[in-house]
Amino acid sequence: MQGLFAVYRKELADHFSSYRFVILFALIAMVAFITSYMAGVNLKENLEGVAKPKFVFLMMFNTTGALFSLVQFVAFFGPLIGLVLGFDAINRERANGTLIKIVSQPIYRDAVINGKFLAGATTISIILVSIVLVISGFGLLLLGVVPGVEEIWRLIIYIIISIFYISFWLGLSLLFSIFFRNVATSALASVALWIFLSFFVSLGASVLADSIAPVDTKGGTRETHMDMTIKNAQIRERVSLLSPMTLYSSASGTIIDPMRKTTSALVLMGPMEELSASRFQNPLPLGQSILVIYPHLVALIAISLICFVISYIVFMLQEVRT
């Protein structure tokens, strides 16, 4: 434990004093300021003279201002935080000749990788919590609305989901920093995988869905047309769930927006979901929202853990030398 704590403290200090962190944090703080300001101004205009909706405060986070909402921003660029914090964690120390020195101290070898991962995860948590607080503060100022208990709970759950999501990318870049000896290679590889998983999977999903179940608007009967549309949407959804970004977007979108009753597309809703969506215009209670995103949540936690466990095993089995 003593070794783990020492590594953790050192890594955390390194993160906070590095230019990398300062730039990253400045960038994110700036985007958070701008998006929340836009969202706040937008909301203020739209809500003028209208009966106040129940969860105004949460709208600060998912109202698209000029470009994107905060939830979308974290889904797209959150991975970069994880990648930047981890891509050179192991291979830089190996190249500098400090890794061998550290592991020849009386610590277990896993203290190095655990400490690094935990320090990264802590940094991520601090970044996320501070963004959410900044936006909340803006919300208070611009809208003059105080968040209710349920809204606070939803924000906390949102932060937890986001921490796991970004930690997944941290674990991935840590893995690359163990696999690749060269810092530049591991940085490129992680960015490549980020682009692939975030952008190309959804593209591939629609291509695959259209080629397996083409929706033909001209020929065919009404029934086959319906079947094909459903099948098309099914394939699209299943394939795009392979992307952690889709997984996260559905989960975080649903938890932030109580009016969202399901994570699936409109055509894929089951009879009960359809009923609740069409009949009841009230927001979902928190427990129900959690239930809806439960599979996503489990999958997100699972992939981040799996990713870390693979890095752990590879690191433990690797020769220290070379």
Which residues of this chain interact with another protein, rule CB under 8 A?
2-3, 5-7, 9-10, 17, 93, 96-98, 100-108, 319-321
Q: Write out the two tokens for 165.
A: 């999501």
Compute the least distance from the CB of residue 100 to another protein, in Å: 5
Compute the least distance from the CB of residue 108 to another protein, in Å: 7
Compute the least distance from the CB of residue 116 to another protein, in Å: 14
Distance CA 256, CA 241 (A): 19
**Between 92 and 231, CB nearer to another protein:** 92
Q: Identify which of 320, 22, 14, 311 has the alpha carbon closest to the alpha carbon of residue 169.
A: 311
**Between 156 and 316, CB nearer to another protein:** 316
**Between 14 and 150, CB nearer to another protein:** 14
Burial class (CB in 10 A: 0-12, 13-18, 19+), 195: exposed
Distance CA 287, CA 119 (A): 31
- Give the H/E segment covering residue 286: helix 286-317
Distance CA 166, CA 150 (A): 24
Compute the least distance from the CB of residue 159 to another protein, in Å: 30
**Between 17 and 46, CB nearer to another protein:** 17
Compute the least distance from the CB of residue 81 to another protein, in Å: 22
Q: Write out the two tokens for 104.
A: 């020849």
Compute the least distance from the CB of residue 2 to another protein, in Å: 4
Place of tokens 């009386």: 106
Distance CA 227, CA 242 (A): 23
Q: Read off φ and ψ for residue 252, nearest 5 degrees.
A: -70, -35
**Between 9 and 238, CB nearer to another protein:** 9
Judge whether 93 and 102 are in contact, CB under 8 Å: yes
**Between 195 and 316, CB nearer to another protein:** 316
**Between 104 and 211, CB nearer to another protein:** 104
Burial class (CB in 10 A: 0-12, 13-18, 19+), 92: middle
Compute the least distance from the CB of residue 160 to another protein, in Å: 30
